[in-house]
Chain A
Amino acid sequence: MNHLIPPFDAYRVFVEPWTINLSQTLLMTSIALIVALSAALIGNYLVLRRMSMLGDAISHSALPGIVIAFLVSGSRDSFALTIGALVAGIVTTVLIEFIHRRSIVKVDAAIGIVFSMLFALGVLLIELAPHTDLDPDCVLFGQLEWLGVHASSDPMKALFASSQFQLLFGVFILTAALNLTFFKELLVSSFDPLLAGAQGFRPTLIHYSMMCMLSLVVVSAFEAVGAILVIAMLILPAATAYLLTNRLRTMITLSITHAVISTIGGIHLAVWLDCPASACMVIAGTFFFCIAWFIHTRPSRQVDDTQETESLTSSAESELAPQ
């Protein structure tokens, strides 16, 4: 039993990563941060639009896309696989919309059916295709540590040269840029699709572009954190921030803060417990969520739920008012 949790050694946990293993820690932290930040940015809108589970769905249903891209291109080139996964993600979104708009099936059941079917298809394809040299563990479980192993003489240079980092960085820049450019559109359409429509924005277009963005983020985050834990990167920061504020701007800032501190905390936790870093980042994030939850449910802060929703909506409108 004593072997279960390694003894806490402050020097080993806090100092060593930044002195002896500096280059590896830097590599891991930068990749983890970029993934966590892009996920947190888009996660805000997922939570507000009540579509959190879509992240989970897309991350699972990307598998057949990856397998088909692999079979078509015949290479494990990460660009081709990303395209495949992206297409699969978009197909998932369209199928979910189609099923739930064209029948009485509710959206949650539609999500569940579509992604489990696509995932089953992916597994079957791997089995049926001869000599598919695909390793599901690199799709389903992150290998943040593995990325660090590549650290050679000049780790930062190697990092910027690796195609995976370029992809992640590109996705992050794109997410951040879209967030800044279309902040107003995203704000209005998330809180009040009707108002957005009336103001001449196109809610459907915004929805589908967001889904494309989500697919990109999820797919690019795969290799680093894995398909199952990426949903935590999406939701935890946003959910934590949502408990603490009524304004979208503050919420985004808070979620970014949450992403940063849970990434760094998680990496130290991983060093302490000697566990996978992605899982530890999620645990750290959960811990911070629990703190926010505790603050939120303190008796003094207990406000009527409907009142809060109203104030949130009206704040959305007041943010719009000047323009």
Chain B
Amino acid sequence: MTPKFRHSPPFLALLIFMFAMPSEAHAAKISELVEVDLGDQFVRFFSLQDAAIRHILLGCLFMGINFGLLGSFVVVRRMALVGDTLSHAVLPGVAVGFLFTMSKEPWAILLGATMAGLLGAATVSWIQRSTRLKQDAALGMVLASFFAVGICLIKMIERIPSVNRSGLDHFFYGQAAALGRADLWMMGGTAVLSTIIVVLLYRPLLATSFDQVFARSIGLPERMLFHLLMLLLALAIVVALQAVGALMVSAMLITPATTAFLLTKRMHVMLCLATGLAIAAGMLGAFLSFVGEGLVSHTLPTGPSMALCAGGFFLLAFLFSPHHGLVSRYRRHLSQTRQITVENTLKAIYRAMESDRFKEEGIAVRRLAGDARETFEETMKRLRLLVRDGLATFASARGEVIYLTPEGLQHASRVVRNHRLWELYLTNEADYDADHVHADAEKVEHILGEDQVMELERYLDYPEQDPHGKRIPSLRDTQRLPLRDLAVKEEEVEP
């Protein structure tokens, strides 16, 4: 591919480079410096001998700070795709900046690109405010139309004779080839600037990001803060674009921030996490592409490998994040389902004992199976869960008979107590019919906490019987065990 774009027209080369191979040239630079040997690559990377490696690691640090901080705000404001739009919309600014000085002045191009980015962001919010088009359409239109203008401008610039247009190609090209000192200064400068602004304006930014109405009501200049954020974002994107390319810009902006979003609920934690993740993904990606060159013995692009590292972190968080992770939630769901099965089985045993008026301690498994209308094996399977939890024991001497342990009995009375109190609450307070309350209580019994149950009991004035005339186990029943007591009480309740 490399020879191919040498032959293609410069503007195409520039664009391909910008979008497809953000740092090929950079990688080429590194691999020229080293012999392609895996072990050697490791040593070289970690000993930081090469200036190029030191520069790219420093670049990752600054870019991580920029994108971690700004990306978090972008993600919580639900405008994640603004990064994608801005990184394309700066193109006409690059061309205009070039036209202004007719040479490759970094400051002019930086200024032009930032202005174009800011103009793009302003246009997006203007379209949203003045029409009924939504953000997605506005972003897409600004992206494509700015980009089209940029393409045409660059094409026109190429036709100007007397202009050293290699400068313009060089803007994306050469500076990506090796992060120079000037780039690092610019990246470092924007990183410091965004850190200062985010720290100083943390509360106003927080308020406007989460609750615009509230922010306006306490007199915050909401629109100004938005444009400040967009200015910082445009700056950060432009300096990163020079170094690594548009693809990586939008990936690195939102992926670490979204990963952090999955991991925490606090904004300041999210900012720190996103920054750390962005830095880590950048460095890991640089390392992998550097080492990978030793494996495939040709150059590897750095940008995509950084983006994919960030994507790997996101995947891990998506699966294993303690609160929101897919696997964690599935395991939580499984343990909840198991808990509910256990409690329902306990309740069934309690009911069976109750209908015997607690005279028998053991309950035949066949009888439980009959009550639940399931096969013997199914019931045994459920009962084995109880035995494993130490809530019941099988009495092998008398055949398939189950005994509740003291803990089992306590737990069973607790569940039954929850169930019946809730039924009573629904009939007495919520005006349910007595024959409609069972299904609801069936769900609620598993999630009522101890405090809630006591409050419920107090509220219902320490009732003895549920709507169906059954006795509600008291708090003491759930704490004490003797079966005989239950039997005695059952006698008292019966007329």
Interface of B, secondary structure class, is: helix
Cα separation A103 to B255 with both chains bound (whole Å): 14
**CB neighbours of A132 from chain B (8 A):** 1
Contact of A282 among B16, B145, B160 (CB under 8 A): B145
CB pair A99 B151 closer than 8 Å: no
Comparing B43-51, B299-307, B338-346, the segment that makes contact with chain A is B299-307
Q: A105-B258, A105-B261 are in contact. Are A228 and B81 (CB under 8 A)?
A: no
Tell me if B463 counts as interface (CB < 8 A to partner A).
Answer: no
Tell me if A121 counts as interface (CB < 8 A to partner B).
Answer: yes
Cα separation A52 to B449 with both chains bound (whole Å): 47
Q: A112-B84, A117-B311, A231-B143 are in contact. Are A126 and B1 (CB under 8 A)?
A: yes
Contact of A232 among B145, B248, B258, B318 (CB under 8 A): B145
**CB neighbours of B160 from chain A (8 A):** 3-4
Contact of A229 among B24, B147, B296 (CB under 8 A): B147
Contact of A53 among B139, B156, B247, B301 (CB under 8 A): B139
**CB neighbours of A1 from chain B (8 A):** 99
Fill in one digit per residue for A84-118: 1 if any B CB lies within 8 Å of its CB, else 0. 00000000000000010011111011011100110
Q: How far is the CB of B298 from chain A (nearest CB, A)?
A: 8
CB pair A3 B159 closer than 8 Å: yes
Residues of B424-450 at the interface with A, using a CB-CB cut-off of 8 Å, are none
Give the total of A residues in contact with B, Cβ under 8 Å.
68
Comparing B130-138, B380-388, B402-410, the segment that makes contact with chain A is B130-138
Comparing B72-80, B170-178, B393-401, the segment that makes contact with chain A is B72-80
CB pair A52 B157 closer than 8 Å: no
Q: How far is the CB of A227 from chain B (nearest CB, A)?
A: 9
CB pair A104 B262 closer than 8 Å: yes
CB pair B80 A140 closer than 8 Å: no
**CB neighbours of B4 from chain A (8 A):** 135
CB pair A52 B152 closer than 8 Å: no
Comparing A149-157, A160-168, A175-183, A271-279, the segment that makes contact with chain B is A271-279
Cα separation A308 to B30 with both chains bound (whole Å): 58
CB pair A286 B134 closer than 8 Å: no
Tell me if B127 counts as interface (CB < 8 A to partner A).
Answer: yes
**CB neighbours of A235 from chain B (8 A):** 137, 140-141, 144
**CB neighbours of B258 from chain A (8 A):** 105, 109, 113
Tell me if B279 counts as interface (CB < 8 A to partner A).
Answer: no
CB pair B141 A109 closer than 8 Å: no
CB pair B143 A120 closer than 8 Å: no
Cα separation A136 to B17 with both chains bound (whole Å): 10
CB pair A50 B1 closer than 8 Å: no
Q: How far is the CB of B123 from chain A (nearest CB, A)?
A: 10
Cα separation A137 to B18 with both chains bound (whole Å): 11
CB pair A103 B159 closer than 8 Å: no
CB pair A117 B307 closer than 8 Å: yes
Tell me if B122 counts as interface (CB < 8 A to partner A).
Answer: no
CB pair B132 A108 closer than 8 Å: no
Residues of B270-305 at the interface with A, using a CB-CB cut-off of 8 Å, are 296, 298-301, 303-305
Tell me if A309 counts as interface (CB < 8 A to partner B).
Answer: yes
Residues of B318-333 at the interface with A, using a CB-CB cut-off of 8 Å, are 318, 324, 326
**CB neighbours of B299 from chain A (8 A):** 127
Residue in A closest to B323 when the chains form the complex, CB atoms? A104
Tell me if B53 counts as interface (CB < 8 A to partner A).
Answer: no
**CB neighbours of A239 from chain B (8 A):** 133, 137, 141
**CB neighbours of B262 from chain A (8 A):** 103-105
CB pair A228 B307 closer than 8 Å: no
Cα separation A293 to B305 with both chains bound (whole Å): 41
Cα separation A293 to B137 with both chains bound (whole Å): 13
Cα separation A104 to B136 with both chains bound (whole Å): 19
Tell me if B308 counts as interface (CB < 8 A to partner A).
Answer: yes
Tell me if B358 counts as interface (CB < 8 A to partner A).
Answer: no
**CB neighbours of A112 from chain B (8 A):** 80-81, 83-84, 250-251, 254-255
**CB neighbours of A99 from chain B (8 A):** 318
**CB neighbours of A278 from chain B (8 A):** 148
CB pair A103 B324 closer than 8 Å: yes
CB pair A4 B99 closer than 8 Å: yes
Cα separation A285 to B326 with both chains bound (whole Å): 44
**CB neighbours of B12 from chain A (8 A):** 137, 141
Cα separation A50 to B79 with both chains bound (whole Å): 13
CB pair A274 B145 closer than 8 Å: no
Tell me if B353 counts as interface (CB < 8 A to partner A).
Answer: no
Q: How far is the CB of B386 from chain A (nearest CB, A)?
A: 33
Tell me if B8 counts as interface (CB < 8 A to partner A).
Answer: yes
Cα separation A137 to B296 with both chains bound (whole Å): 24
Q: A105-B258, A140-B20 are in contact. Are A52 and B324 (CB under 8 A)?
A: no
Tell me if A124 counts as interface (CB < 8 A to partner B).
Answer: yes
Q: How far is the CB of B12 from chain A (nearest CB, A)?
A: 5
Cα separation A116 to B304 with both chains bound (whole Å): 9
**CB neighbours of B155 from chain A (8 A):** 273-276, 279
Residues of A195-217 at the interface with B, using a CB-CB cut-off of 8 Å, are none
Residue in B closest to A60 when the chains form the complex, CB atoms? B247
Residue in A closest to B298 when the chains form the complex, CB atoms? A127
Cα separation A210 to B228 with both chains bound (whole Å): 38
Q: How far is the CB of B219 from chain A (nearest CB, A)?
A: 24
Contact of B326 among A103, A123, A234, A280 (CB under 8 A): A103
**CB neighbours of A120 from chain B (8 A):** 247-248, 251, 303-305, 307-308, 311
Q: How far is the CB of A173 from chain B (nearest CB, A)?
A: 26
CB pair B148 A124 closer than 8 Å: no
Q: How far is the CB of B428 from chain A (nearest CB, A)?
A: 36
**CB neighbours of B318 from chain A (8 A):** 99, 103, 105
CB pair A128 B131 closer than 8 Å: no
Tell me if B314 counts as interface (CB < 8 A to partner A).
Answer: yes
Q: Can you spell out 6 A-B residue pairs with CB atoms less than 8 angstroms apart?
A: A109-B80, A120-B307, A124-B308, A126-B20, A135-B1, A296-B131
A-B interface, 10 closest residue pairs, ranked by CB to CB distance from nearest: A232-B144, A116-B251, A120-B304, A282-B148, A286-B145, A120-B307, A109-B80, A279-B148, A117-B311, A52-B136
16 new A-B contacts, CB < 8 A, other than A3-B161, A120-B304, A127-B21, are: A4-B156, A52-B137, A103-B262, A109-B258, A112-B84, A113-B254, A120-B247, A120-B251, A121-B308, A126-B1, A126-B20, A228-B19, A228-B88, A232-B144, A275-B155, A279-B148
